[in-house]
A and B are shown apart, each in its own frame.
Chain A
Amino acid sequence: MHTSTPRGYVRMPDIEFKSPISYGPISAPDGSVTVEDETATAKIVVRAAAGTAAAADLAVPFGQSRLRADGTLVCGTRPDEWTLFAAIDRATEVAASVNAEGFVSVVDITHGRAMMRVSGPKATAVLAKVCNLDLADDMTPDGAVFSGSVAEVTCDLLRSDRAGVASYLISCERSFGNYVFAALVDASTEFGAQLPAGLSIH
């Protein structure tokens, strides 16, 4: 580790963590799709060259993910790059858990990324309205990690099914969060979801 900088923001228990998305879960009446904010999640990005202990410890290939025993979700976001997701109060702990020997960077991006989940039987159809990637089950199976344009914003995506039902975690640069959330709800209107007043893609 080449810095003395703190490796994770200390959570301020008395100060509210504000998400860029100020809407609760929005669902179609039949439950076919739900869009919800999950920004309040610890997000640690680790960049580690091949051969480092960190890379060996994380042990998740690019494009795939693994839920660690401690509840941390490890995603192979890019070659030699991982994003670790955990409960928001574990940011410092998760960052500290990374073996920093060698050329390794650990950056807490909890505050820098908005994150939302699209889930339900129609989740894939909703995402296919704003994302041009092949979302077929064999091309992006449960656990797949990939990047792409969502409503023309570069996003990191994770297929993270719930009880066998399609579900996607989508994260983007924080300042786009409200817009991407609006775009996903807008796409969900085909299946019955309603855009709340004040939420628009324009």
Chain B
Amino acid sequence: MTDNRLPQRPGEVIDRDTSLAFTWNGQGYTGYQGDTIASALAAGGVEVFARSMKYKRQRGIMTADHWDPNLFVQVGDEPNVRAGSRRLIAGMEVSAQNVWPSLRFDVGAVNQLVGRFLSVGFYYKTFMRPKWFWHNVYQKVLRKFAPGGRIFWETSAHGAYDKRFAHPDVLVAGGGPAGMGAAIAAAETGASVMLVEHEPDLGGHLRWGDADDLAALAELISAVEAHPGIEVVIDSTVTGRYDHNWMAVMQRSHPIAPERLIKARANSLVVAPGLIERPYIFAGNDTPGVMLSGTVRRLINLWAVKPGSKAVVLSANSEGDAAIADLEAAGVEIVAALDVRAGEDIVEVQGRGRVSKVVLGDGRTVSADLVVIGTGWTAPTSLLNMAGDRPVYDASAARYFSNQLPDSVLATGGITGNGTTAELVAHGKATGALAANRALRNRHDRRSLSARARNPDGPRPESLADTRTPLARVPHPECYRSSTHGMVDLSEDVSSKDLVQAAKEGFDSIELMKRYTTVTMGPSQGKLETVNAAAVLAEARNMSMVDIGTTVWRPPYAPISLGALAGRIFEPIRRSALQDWHEAHGASPLLAGQWIRPDHYGDPTGEALNVRENVGIIDVTPLGKLDLRGPDVTKLLELVYVNKWQKLDIGRVRYGAMVAEDGVVSDDGVTSRLGENHYLMTCTSSGAGAVWEMLEDYLQTYRPEWDVHVTAVTGGLTSINVAGPKCREVLLRLVEGVDLSPEAFPYFHVRRGTVAGVADCIIWRIGFTGELSYELHVPSGHALHVWESLLTSGEDLGIRTFGVEAQRILRLEKGHYIVGQDTDGLTKAPTAGLGGLVKLDKPDTIGLPELKAAYARTDLPILVAIQPDDPQVVPMEADQIVDGESNRILGRITSSRMSPSLGRSVCLGQVDPSLAAAGTKVTILLIDGRRIIGTVQEHHAHIDPEGVRQNA
């Protein structure tokens, strides 16, 4: 195994006393603490790390950082790990991804031979026809070639993702010299600062610099660490900037989770990402051994890795020049040092699996195993774009610069210009101070205006003028492509030849070309290739870079995992005070909206029968309950219900239905009058929140002069329905202070009393099952006691619990409809059979004009009870009612069950008015295609239509 590790370097970040063993494609390797996966492998002599997406070309280290398009690897069960920035951990099982059968020999490499036929737009052009081939052939085959690693979603031990919120005064994106300067200055002004760096260490380019750089870095880090007002978040990326400076920060490698999304809302954003070195386009520019100048400097100075033996260097700037010095210091022979500024160039690189020969611009061919490119930078303006900026190209400096930013977003560092370390830090500090000033003025306002905040300690800070001295724009040659063609987008295998071809085909705007060729759309997201792509297009169209423009950079700045976006999955669950008891007694859970409820206790049919024959109790706590108080409650009820409420006496209960402004039935329930100005309203479980909101909406906006207070008491009152012919007998044993006789406490009345020793229970005599029943509303802290007391007291009377399923059977037997089940988003009052309830002569009711219009119509469907002629057939809910043998739809079954009491199926359904008369035969189309006949019944109720049982 080759050992490329150099003797100790002054700024190296590896701990040579801590060796870490790991495997690469099953073979053992050793690195040091502080190594990245890539640096450890490079130190071990690995040259090929991946195969390219389309042509399966061998790829090696290009940038050796987070953005390297060639360093995506599989680590255990985690795909797409960026080996250029992920720190090495002992025991890692690292492998190349998307190769078959191996990295060394990949059959997909045959694509290189037929590459001329895989031109740009190949997929669009080829896989369109024949159409049915897409699902049956193309898709299945292409999926095998899809890039990316393997996922193990069923067995992954990856753990949960995480999320947190943050509200720093100033968020600094970028932890280089300018970013650290900005953070220090902002914190010194009194602002809270979040400093985000996408590499695992602060410092930016200072980390691989000379002794002066390292000294400056140590000083800056010391100042950052010393300031309690700065929160440093490393190995993290600000992936998006949204309105009002809402930033998404993706934090990697946190102990609590593989990735964590920090949702940060900052008063000021300082964008200090530095610059990203860009590749140069020439034939063979993606051959392993072609690296950027910053890459070799990082390898040598951070991880003490010798990147090659014989190097050709092409330099257009001081970074490229510095690379030559570092290479020489590392013992690398400089075969040719080419200066772009002197007109020198590289034409082609040759070699398979590693650079072997280099054709120079002067026609010479030299032997080398390393080509170092230092031809310029891309300004990563993404966050600025997201703030509305449209950066402008400056030909003299050969890169883009910010154009116009909102006050809450400031830029500093290399993205704004060039400078010495001192100049960068100074600009950063001036920017940080300005950002803090704006943030603290904003904070002063918020503290002044917020009811809960501490009043500001002093006057609002004076506005600081922007007196920053801009960093210089050092001239730089425009250096994008040699005389040959090469790769532009290494993530997507898009070459300059492809771009020229796309332009010829008419995709000659940068945005169209991007979408057609997928250039800039891979994991690099344009970091390395955006400017080169624009340059190639400009050249192809003979236009200036300024006129070509750039693609718009949108979030995310860097790809992020879907799991991290989801974070912790919060699924609020509501439980009644009795739910623990239900679960302990074998209840089968039913998720109804946010509520978890007992669907049944093992025998829903038996539970239903027991209610008809003896007595049952059911937990109906999810029923929405609203406490209404005030002298104007009656007016409110008149407004929101379709029926009248003026004459509801104290102690009475009344059913009410609501319609929305479009006349569609929206909710229903009963409301009782407990006192002169005190009512308890119930509504459907699923509609409780909406009804509460609607009441408040009308009270606050439409009738603010009405004195009504609404308090939600759903969970505070545990609701227990006691139903069955023996229910009164049970309650007589437990209720104090209430005369339960039918004369003193008739149907649709309310009383307050003590139940099982619990005072202040509200007792309604109502029912949904069709049986004699009482609904108890019990203070929830004592509900379990009441529930268990009922079961104990009624034991000899055959009392049993029943669940939602039994209740559905019972209510359907009785013909009670359910809003949302037997009605839908189009059901108006006449359909639901509310004719006797609706009072069109009221002065005002929500939806009144639509109600009047609805009752003038004769074409609305009607809700009816239907009896299948074959009593053993139970149509499914939503089975259609059709016109004989045709498929013309005339209605649908809305509810259906087998009735254990009647021994036959029972249904409710909406039908065309022509079918609504009792005795009409209807055709029901079952899901299996059979058609059965049913008969429309006279009443909704299949059992006890006269109400003898409930009125007992």
Chain A residues near B (Cβ < 8 Å): 2-6, 9-10, 12, 14-20, 22, 40, 45, 47, 49, 61-64, 76, 103, 105, 107, 109-113, 125, 128-141, 144-146, 151-153, 173-180, 183, 186, 189-190, 201-202
CB neighbours of A19 from chain B (8 A):
781
Residue in A22, A125, A144 whose CB lies within 8 Å of B452:
A144
The answer to whether A174 and B568 touch (CB under 8 A), given A3-B677, A5-B674, A103-B630, is no
Closest to A153 in B: B572
B675-A3 in contact (CB<8A): yes
Known contacts being A146-B452, A153-B572, is A6 close to B760, with CB within 8 Å?
yes
A-B contact pairs, 16 of them (CB 8 A): A2-B629, A9-B759, A63-B452, A103-B631, A105-B711, A107-B709, A111-B781, A134-B167, A136-B167, A139-B453, A140-B453, A145-B452, A152-B572, A176-B715, A179-B575, A190-B256
Q: A179 and B573: CB pair below 8 A?
A: yes
CB-based nearest A residue for B709: A105
Q: What chain B residues lie within 8 Å of A110 (beta carbons)?
A: 716, 779, 781
Report B236-276 CB contacts with A as 1/0, cut-off 8 Å. 00000000000000000001100000010100000000000
- B451 near A64 with CB under 8 A, answer yes
Chain A residues near B779 (CB-CB < 8 A):
9, 110-111
Say whether B263 contacts A132, CB under 8 Å.
yes
Q: 1/0 per residue B669-681: CB within 8 Å of A?
A: 0000011111000
In the bound complex, do residue A139 and residue B447 qualify as a contact, i.e. CB atoms below 8 Å apart? yes
Q: Does B352 contact A (CB under 8 A)?
A: no
Q: Is B166 an interface residue (CB 8 A)?
A: yes
What is the minimal beta-carbon distance from B510 to any residue of chain A, in angstroms? 37
Instruction: Tell me the B150-165 residues at the A interface (CB within 8 Å).
Output: 162-165
Asked if B454 contacts A175 (CB within 8 A), the reply is no
CA distance A173 to B163 in the complex (A): 24
Q: Which residue of A lies closest to B716 (CB)?
A: A112
Binds A, one of B116-124, B782-790, B794-802, B809-817: B782-790
A62 to B783 alpha-carbon distance, docked (Å)? 33
B interface, CB within 8 angstroms of A: 162-167, 192, 255-256, 263, 265, 443, 446-447, 450-454, 568-577, 580, 595, 621, 627, 629-631, 674-678, 707, 709, 711-717, 752, 757-760, 779-785
Residues of A within 8 A of B676 (CB): 2-4
CB distance from A115 to the nearest CB of B (A): 12
A2 touches B678 (CB 8 A): yes
List the A residue with the shortest CB-CB distance to B160.
A186
Is B782 within 8 A of A47, CB to CB?
no
B-chain residues with CB within 8 Å of residue A103 when the two chains form the complex: 630-631, 707
Decide: A151 near B621, CB < 8 A? Known: A15-B758, A139-B446.
no
CB-based nearest A residue for B567: A129
16 other contacts beyond A111-B779, A180-B572, with CB at 8 A cut-off?
Answer: A4-B675, A5-B675, A5-B752, A40-B781, A62-B451, A76-B451, A103-B631, A107-B713, A109-B711, A112-B713, A128-B166, A139-B446, A141-B454, A152-B570, A152-B572, A179-B572
In the complex, the answer to whether B575 meets A111 with C-beta atoms within 8 Å is no
Report, nearest first, the 7 A-B pairs whose CB atoms are least far apart. A112-B716, A63-B451, A2-B677, A174-B715, A63-B452, A3-B678, A175-B574
Measured between C-beta atoms, what is the minimum distance from A165 to chain B in Å? Answer: 17
A14 to B829, CA, bound (A): 49
Count chain A CB atoms within 10 A of each CB in B453, B621, B717, B784 and give the residue with the most: B453
A9–B165 CA distance with the chains assembled, in angstroms: 39
The 8 Å CB contact of A140, one of B163, B452, B572, B627, is B452
Q: How far is the CA of A19 from the CA of B783 in the complex (A)?
A: 11
- Separation of A187 and B783 alpha carbons in the complex (Å): 30
Please give, as numbers and ranges, the residues of chain A lying within 8 Å of B573 by CB-CB distance: 176, 178-179
> How far, in Å, is A10 (CB) from chain B's closest CB?
5
A63 to B454, CA, bound (A): 10
**What is the distance, in angstroms, from B703's C-beta to the closest C-beta of chain A?**
14
Residues on the A chain within 8 Å of B758, using CB: 12, 15
Q: Which residues of A contact B782 (CB under 8 A)?
A: 12, 15-18, 111
CA distance A64 to B265 in the complex (A): 24
Point out the residues of chain A lying under 8 angstroms from B621, CB to CB: 175
Contact status A175-B715, CB under 8 Å: yes
Cβ–Cβ < 8 Å partners of A179 in chain B: 572-575
Contact B164–A18 (Cβ < 8 Å): no
B595:A175 contact, CB within 8 angstroms: yes
- In the complex the two chains form, what is the Cα distance from A130 to B711 in whole Å? 26
Residue contact B714 to A173, C-beta cutoff 8 Å = yes
Q: In the complex, how many angstroms separate the beta carbon of B259 from the nearest chain A beta carbon?
A: 14
Once the chains bind, are A12 and B759 in contact (CB under 8 Å)? yes
Contact of A175 among B570, B576, B677 (CB under 8 A): B576
Closest beta carbon of chain B to A116's beta carbon, Å: 15
- Chain A nearest CB from B821 CB (Å) reads 22
| B447 touching A138, Cβ below 8 Å | yes
CB of B639, distance to nearest CB on chain A (Å)? 19
B577 touches A174 (CB 8 A): yes
For B446, the chain A residues whose CB sits under 8 A away are 139
Q: Which residues of B contact A137 (CB under 8 A)?
A: 454
Could you tell me if B570 and A151 are in contact, using CB atoms closer than 8 angstroms? yes
A22 to chain B: closest residue by CB: B580
A136 touches B675 (CB 8 A): no
**Residue with the greatest number of chain B CB neighbours at <10 A, chosen from A49, A125, A173, A186:** A173
**Measured between alpha carbons, how far is A133 from B165 in the docked complex, in Å?**
8
Nearest CB on B from A32, distance (A)? 14
B162 near A129: Cβ-Cβ < 8 Å = yes
> Given A128-B164, A139-B447, does the pair A109, B757 have CB atoms closer than 8 Å?
no
Most buried by A among B263, B715, B758: B715
Q: Measured between C-beta atoms, what is the minimum distance from B415 to chain A in Å?
A: 29
Given contacts A3-B676, A112-B715, A174-B577, contact A131 B780 (CB under 8 A): no
Residue of B nearest to A102 (CB): B707
Residues of A within 8 A of B757 (CB): 12, 14-15
From the candidates B629, B707, B713, name the one contacting A3 in the complex (CB within 8 A): B629
- A141 near B577 with CB under 8 A, answer no
Residue of B nearest to A136 (CB): B167
- A105 in contact with B629 (CB, 8 Å): yes
| A183 CB contacts on chain B under 8 angstroms | 570
A6-B107 Cα distance, complex, nearest whole Å: 83
Interchain CB contact under 8 A, B784 and A18: yes
Question: Do A201 and B568 have beta carbons less than 8 Å apart?
Answer: yes
CA of A109 to CA of B192 in the docked complex: distance in angstroms?
39
- Smallest CB separation, B67 vs chain A (Å): 29
Q: Which of A6, A111, A186 contacts B780 (CB 8 A)?
A: A111
Complex: A137 Cα to B715 Cα, angstroms:
33
Most buried by B among A132, A135, A174, A201: A174
Beta-carbon nearest neighbor of A158 in chain B: B452
With a cutoff of 8 Å between Cβ atoms, the chain B residues found around residue A190 in the complex are 162, 255-256
Choose among A5, A47, A145 the residue that contacts B678 (Cβ–Cβ < 8 A).
Answer: A5
For the complex formed, measure the closest distance between the CB of B525 and the CB atoms of chain A, giving whole angstroms.
27
> Once the chains are docked, how many angstroms separate the CA of A17 from the CA of B778?
12
Alpha-carbon distance between A175 and B574 when the two chains are bound, in angstroms:
5
Give Cα A13–Cα B779 distance, bound, in whole angstroms: 14
* A102, B576: Cα distance in complex, Å: 35
Q: How far is the CB of A198 from chain B (nearest CB, A)?
A: 10
Alpha-carbon distance between A4 and B631 when the two chains are bound, in angstroms: 13
Nearest chain A CB to B295's CB is how many angstroms away? 36
Q: Which of A2, A129, A144 contacts B453 (CB 8 A)?
A: A144
**Residue on B nearest A132 in the bound complex, by CB:** B165
Q: Which residue of the partner chain A has the closest CB to B761?
A: A9
For the complex, what is the distance from the CA of A129 to the CA of B260, rounded to whole Å?
11
| B194 smallest CB distance to A (angstroms) | 12
